[in-house]
Amino acid sequence: MGRIYAHLDGDSWDYLMIGPVTTPEQDKRFDEAAVKRGLKIGFAASLEFRQFLAWHSDTFVVGPMTAAELVAAAK
């Protein structure tokens, strides 16, 4: 299950959703369920979803990391 965070201050985004990393088998089952319901999958689904957004940006991160791992990565 994903977690949704509401942004309170700073950069120009409102909500952040962090979801689980899925396996290829899970992805296949999700796609099959979407197709069965008449929904688009893959890039076509992304394009359809983005028509409802005023803007979009992607942010890539690593983690979660402990403080020790973060210090080690900075060296």
| More reliable by pLDDT, 37 or 60 | 37
Q: Which percentage of the chain shows pLDDT scores above 90?
A: 32
Render 18-71 in DSSP notation, one character per residue: E-PPPPHHHHHHHHHHHHHTT---HHHHHHHHHTT-S------------HHHHH
Question: What mean pLDDT value characterizes the chain?
Answer: 84
| More reliable by pLDDT, 40 or 54 | 40
Q: Against a cut of 0.75, is the pTM above it?
A: no
pLDDT at position 1: 63
Give the residue extent of every domain in the chain.
Answer: 3-74
Q: Convert the pLDDT of each residue in 52-71 to its tens digit.
A: 888 777 767 677 778 888 78
